[in-house]
Amino acid sequence: MKIGFIGLGIMGKPMSKNLIKAGYELTVFDLVAASVEELVKAGAGKASSAKQAAEKSDVIITMLPNSPHVKAAVLGAGGVLEGIASGKTFVDMSSIAPLASREIAAALAEKGVEMLDAPVSGGEPKAIEGTLSIMVGGKKEVFDRCVPFLSKMGSSVVLCGGIGAGNTTKLANQIIVALNIAAMSEAFVLASKSGVDPETLYKAIRGGLAGSTVLDAKAPMVMAGNFKPGFRIELHIKDLANAIETGHEVGVPLPLTSQVMEIMQALKVDGKAGNDHSGIVQFYEKLAKFEARKR
């Protein structure tokens, strides 16, 4: 199977490398030439546009920042739609608005192309390991055909419903992650300023009901003051904006999501938009005038 991969950022680069390691013939395209050259050295072919990547491939994968970027790469001039042929498959692994997924799928369907929306969770470490959680929307028969290569990038690949269901599930995931990090941050600053060593706190609670994958991934970063992404605050803002918009569309108020969104917006104003989302703790630390660091 020939796969075209468009978008070689923090996530797309290791994901595409895992496909090469698994033996797939890959053609890559990105606006950043250095990223393309890195993949070429790893064994990929190079395309000069999204259109050319589509012309050379049986399956096209996109991994881009947000809805406008995916729309431009697929529907814009020199995009996937111009190069993809009937009977081929398009898989968008970006985290975008469910409505945008359905709009793109409708345009592709007119050309006889099937689509899956398949956003991921797990961040850069799991992208490197090939152990991402992949949430998929689309037809079951298309999903079944794509599981073999999706499973080379993720350890969990779940069909969640029709087109848009993958991104809806991802939005739910991002709400839970954001609120978990905010709760952890609030608790760690409280305990630390009250005199409890944060590492002791972490060891004491991680085996109980408060323990979670989020806690295990983010508490060590907080204690070390290491906010290198990972998953940037500015990208989590994008996801929560999509969640709030979707909530408004379907009539579901999201008061806690809105609150953590404002915390992230405050950090953005403070120049921390490029920090890992574990950097949410800095909002609480600034209010409390105390850092929850390992001592």
- The Cα 191–Cα 262 span in angstroms is 23
Give the residue from 64, 57, 55 showing the smallest Cα distance to 35: 64
Residue length, the chain?
Answer: 295
CA dihedral 8, 136, 219, 267 (to 10 degrees): 70
CA dihedral 132, 133, 138, 140 (to 10 degrees): 100
Tokens 């890195």 belong to 38
Around Cβ 146, how many Cβ atoms within 10 Å? 23
In the residue annotation, 170 being an active-site residue is answered as yes
Q: What is the DSSP letter of 139?
A: -
- The Cα 157–Cα 171 span in angstroms is 16
Each residue of 107-127: b (16+ CB within 10 Å) or e?
ebeeeebbbbbbbbbbbbebb
- The Cα 152–Cα 17 span in angstroms is 10
Cis amide prior to 230 (ω within 30 degrees): yes
Q: Name the active-site residue from 170, 218, 238, 272.
A: 170
Each residue of 260-288: b (16+ CB within 10 Å) or e?
bbebbeebeeeebbebbbbbbbbbbbeee
Active site residues: 170
